[in-house]
Structure 1
Amino acid sequence: MDRRHLVAAVAGGAAALAAPRLASAQPRIRWRCPSAYPKSIDTLFGAQEVVARRVSEATDGAFQIQNFGPGELVPALQVMDAVAAGSVECGFTSSLFYTGKDPALAFGCNLPFGMSTRHVWSWLNQAGGREMLAPVYRDLGVRAIPAGNTGAQMGGWFRKEIRSVEDLQGLKFRIAGLGGAVAQRIGVVAQQIAPSDIYPSLERGVIDAAEYIAPYDDEKLGFGRIAPYYYYPGWQEYSSSNDFLVNPAAWEALPAPYRAVLEMACTDAWHWSTARYDFLNPQALRRLVAGGTQLRSFPREVLAALYRAGQELYTDTAARNPRFKEIWQNWDRYRLEQIQWFRAAEDPLANFLAAATSR
């Protein structure tokens, strides 16, 4: 070996010895993440587990997020409050549970008669949705990263058949977010109840009906044993987005590479949860129907009444809340544009295939 090669080899070896291993070079961070969803709901709770797993994998275990079920650290419907107060560094929930704080939070999830999963994702990430929502979350003391979506939901479980708008008068219905405010306008008595409390409330007769998510999760919670009529479509949540909330101080203390990793992990969880629901729901619906569930579609007059009530609610809310108005106008323009595009691009083929393959 000549002198030049010897010097290069020694220098390279010294550099290798001086360079610390990646894991030891990174700060070790531990966050606690309470959830609004029971651990038994392995799709929604599973989404936050995806976030934690991806973050750990990408940082060689240096950044750890420990997940907790409802009540283990904070109650299910107080996750946002705990994150804002700094009691925990982060949390996993849906903004629809907090529309009483600011109705504009509804856009962080979805509005009744809103957009599909694909439309929501593109509005949030391509049409400026996240930028418009950031001040809403900031004023409530949190930072939000979209981290899950249920896809299309079902309309809910009912003890009796719904044949007309009159059948909804006085009906005690567990329905969250603005869906409850819309339903109230046509005579429903809306109840917001934490997911883990829905079954006992339905069993004791505290409520007459309940919507939750879709067949896979609903089957696990056993609603069909009490309320035999299962209605579609899920007008109240065409798709439902969930947020990974972060305390602003915790976010600022997070190294920039960790922030990027967290954003990517949340994106992964969003698409993981949507794909998982698409895989599991058809199988669960077949099992439910085979087990005696009575599948029903809402009458057109009921959907039309609910749609009118929704448009009236949004107009009234916009008149009182300038920020809601600004976001709603942007959101609704985008919704209508997407409806027209899909009417030409996808709906005709989807309808043809549904008819051609019906048995």
Structure 2
Amino acid sequence: MKRSTFVKGTLITSVAASLLVSQLAYSDTVRLRMHTFYGTEMDEIAADLRERVKESSDGSLRIQFFRGGELVDSSQFVNAVSRGTIDIAHGVGSYWPGQVSIGTIEAGLPGAWVSTDEARDVFTDQGLDELIAEAYEEQGVKLIGRGYGSDYGLLTSEPVSSLEDLKSMRIRATSSIATVLEKFDIPTTFLPAEELYVGLSTGVIDGAVYGGPVEYEQLKLNEVAKYYTDINLLNPGWIETALINPSTWEKMSEEQQQIITTEIDRYLEDIHQWLEEGNQKIIDEGALFEFATLPAEDSRKLAEAALPIWEEEAEKSERNAQAVEILINNATQQGRLSE
């Protein structure tokens, strides 16, 4: 009896201890430093994300949010996540093409897609995201989310009626768009979003291809430039990427991982819808900007000039070649390229 009582007591103690350890492990708060390339315009959406993650995880997951430029430069997101300086990054692949060569393709090659539904299909159903995830894994980061931007027009301090007008201007653009513009002797440079206001107000740049009307309004660029021109080259004009540090990811339980991916997906979709609705409202009101569209012939020239960029990107690696093949097959199926 004594031995039986001892064994029984030992088992009860062991089970209780195991339960206690399990509860303590789950109750440890995982604090995640998340950095976006956006500024204050996304504060409300970011606050919703933080609250949902906290509630869904019973407080075991907490997000500390950083806006564009607050902790690290957007172009350094991949390195920062890999080193653990930040845990989660929300950016655009064209900010780091020197680190992840497929990033330019990921962000959106000119002419690659013309609707959000088409872009979603290319990434999720035609295998593009699988190739991209492999590339990020090689850089020590994990792909956990995909966002779809919105309108991608040209904002300038002077009106634009043709490509010829742009030859006397310096335009801020990411690498792929810059390559197209430079084929028409249009000077380009790159500035992060947080520097666009100063760049336009001081004449460092004369225009920018960055986003749609709502983003330009949120950055208060309507105070220094009011001419918005639709260049009819890519929509969505950029594709957003969410990355996480692998060590941070592995420390979380499967349930916590699911919470993060689910809520990051919702966060990215909320941003997309906010952009779409905001752009249309500003266009309908017509008060902040003067709207124009590049002549169809000029848009056609831009599209034709973009095709060699696809070939150049394909030559950078076997993975890039596979990605471009996906784009070519899709564009052919959509009727934008001949077989």
TM-score (structure 2 length as normaliser): 0.84
Aligned position for 1:212: 210
Choose from 300, 304, 309 the match for 1:304: 300
Aligned position for 1:77: 75
Aligned position for 1:32: 33
CA distance in 2, matches of 1:88, 1:312: 36
Residue 156 of structure 1, CA deviation: 1.4
Query: 1:97 corresponds to which letter in structure 2?
Result: Y
Distance verdict in 2 for CA 1:327–1:47, change over 3 Å: farther
CA distance in 2, matches of 1:105, 1:70: 19
Distance verdict in 2 for CA 1:234–1:68, change over 3 Å: farther
Aligned position for 1:356: none
CA distance in 2, matches of 1:32, 1:295: 39
Distance verdict in 2 for CA 1:329–1:197, change over 3 Å: same
Aligned position for 1:290: 287
CA distance in 2, matches of 1:94, 1:320: 19
Q: Deviations over 1:147-193 (max 9, x none)?
A: 43222x14211233333332222531011241122222221222211
Alignment of 1:334-353 (within 5 A): 334-337=330-333, 339-340=334-335
CA distance in 2, matches of 1:277, 1:23: 41
Choose from 232, 242, 250 the match for 2:230: 232
Aligned position for 2:254: 256
Distance verdict in 2 for CA 1:181–1:52, change over 3 Å: farther
**Matched residue of 1:210: which SS?**
strand
Aligned position for 2:12: none
**Matched residue of 1:323: which SS?**
helix
Identity of aligned residues (%): 21
Indicate yes or no: 2:293 matched with 1:331.
no
CA distance in 2, matches of 1:264, 1:336: 33
CA distance in 1, matches of 2:313, 2:123: 21
**Matched residue of 2:41: which SS?**
coil
Residue 125 of structure 1, CA deviation: 2.1
TM-score (structure 1 length as normaliser): 0.80
Query: 2:311 corresponds to which letter in structure 1?
Result: T
Residue 131 of structure 1, CA deviation: 1.0
Aligned position for 1:129: 128
Residue 105 of structure 1, CA deviation: 1.0
Kept in 1, the 8 Å contact 2:69–2:194? The answer is no
Aligned position for 1:118: 117
Distance verdict in 2 for CA 1:51–1:243, change over 3 Å: farther
Distance verdict in 2 for CA 1:147–1:315, change over 3 Å: closer
CA distance in 2, matches of 1:235, 1:49: 33
Query: Aligned pair count?
Result: 319
**Matched residue of 1:186: which SS?**
coil
CA distance in 1, matches of 2:258, 2:110: 32
Indicate yes or no: 2:38 matched with 1:41.
no
Bigger Cα displacement from structure 2, 233-242 vs 317-326: 233-242
Kept in 2, the 8 Å contact 1:144–1:244? The answer is yes
Residue 24 of structure 1, CA deviation: 5.9
Q: Deviations over 1:50-104 (max 9, x none)?
A: 4433322211111111101234322333222211222122222111211233431
Residue 334 of structure 1, CA deviation: 2.4
Q: Deviations over 1:114-173 (max 9, x none)?
A: 22222222222222222111121122221122243222x142112333333322225310
Residue 247 of structure 1, CA deviation: 1.2
Query: 1:41 corresponds to which letter in structure 2?
Result: E
Kept in 1, the 8 Å contact 2:178–2:188? The answer is yes
Bigger Cα displacement from structure 2, 101-110 vs 55-64: 101-110
Residue 303 of structure 1, CA deviation: 1.1
Alignment of 1:141-156 (within 5 A): 141-151=140-150, 153-156=151-154
Kept in 2, the 8 Å contact 1:155–1:236? The answer is no
Aligned position for 1:3: none
Aligned position for 2:170: 172
**Matched residue of 1:267: which SS?**
helix
Distance verdict in 2 for CA 1:218–1:110, change over 3 Å: same
CA distance in 1, matches of 2:142, 2:228: 36
Kept in 2, the 8 Å contact 1:112–1:310? The answer is yes
Residue 234 of structure 1, CA deviation: 5.3
Kept in 2, the 8 Å contact 1:173–1:209? The answer is yes
Kept in 2, the 8 Å contact 1:318–1:324? The answer is yes
